Amino acid sequence: MSSRAAQFQKLYERHNRLVLAYCLRRISNAEAYDAASEVFAVAWRRLDDIPDDKELAWLYGVARRVLSRKRRSANRFSRLVKQVQMQPQPTTIDVADEVLGDDRVSQVRAAIGMLKARDQEILRLAAWEGLSHRDIAEVLDISTSAVDQRLHRAKQRLAVAYEGLFSPGDSAIQGSSA
């Protein structure tokens, strides 16, 4: 063990319990152990700066700054959470709702739900997310020619599923083919 490591080991053994107790009296248990670890990480980095006759006081000073930083961070996080909670919730706009009427949206969704997950995903990436074939290839980690084939087949299966939802005499199908 190097002399630096031995020096740190002795410092740690002498003061770890006292620094941890200092932290435990000020913050929760989990955070106190974290803070004490941070104190000794600083001590390791600045081992040569620690005065021999005032090691504990120096460590307490570091601990005070670590705890202060943790409190400021917690306060910032709390303010951020409050700000986010006060923001109006975004309304989601479904492209299908914009393109199709209410009846057709539920019919298309039902037909998509009949497909395998793989077909559903490629159709959603293309139609709902508006991705190019190159981008879909990147997302799915396949080639663009594979995207072309899968998308073509998924559209065919969607058409079959959509048609299968209706009986031949259904007015929705008759109306759409007229």
- 76 and 107 inside one domain: no
Q: What whole-number distance in Å separates Cα of residue 94 and Cα of residue 96?
A: 5
Q: Judge whether 156 and 111 are in contact, CB under 8 Å.
A: no
Category of 131 on φ-ψ map: left (φ > 0), alpha (ψ -120 to 50) or beta: beta
In the block, residue with structure tokens 């995207």: 147
Count the neighbouring beta carbons within 10 Å of the beta carbon of residue 147: 23
Among 86, 121, 145, the domain-final residue is 86
Helices 144-164, 133-140: axis angle to 10 degrees equals 100
Enclosing domain of residue 48: 3-86
CATH number at residue 151: 1.10.10.10
Structure tokens, 139: 């997302």
- 117 and 166 inside one domain: yes
Total structural domains within the chain: 2
- 119 and 168 inside one domain: yes
Count the neighbouring beta carbons within 10 Å of the beta carbon of residue 29: 10
Q: Judge whether 23 and 67 are in contact, CB under 8 Å.
A: yes
Among 86, 118, 148, the domain-final residue is 86
- 114 and 74 inside one domain: no
Among 42, 59, 86, the domain-final residue is 86
- 7 and 50 inside one domain: yes
In this prediction the pTM is 0.49
- 138 and 114 inside one domain: yes
pLDDT tens-digit profile, the chain (178 residues): 889 999 999 999 999 999 999 999 999 998 999 999 999 999 999 999 999 899 999 999 999 999 999 999 989 988 888 888 887 765 555 555 555 556 677 788 888 888 999 999 999 888 878 889 999 998 888 999 999 999 999 999 999 988 887 745 444 444 444 3
- 66 and 102 inside one domain: no
Angle at 14 between CA 10 and CA 17, to 5 degrees: 130
- 115 and 82 inside one domain: no
Q: What whole-number distance in Å separates Cα of residue 40 and Cα of residue 69?
A: 16
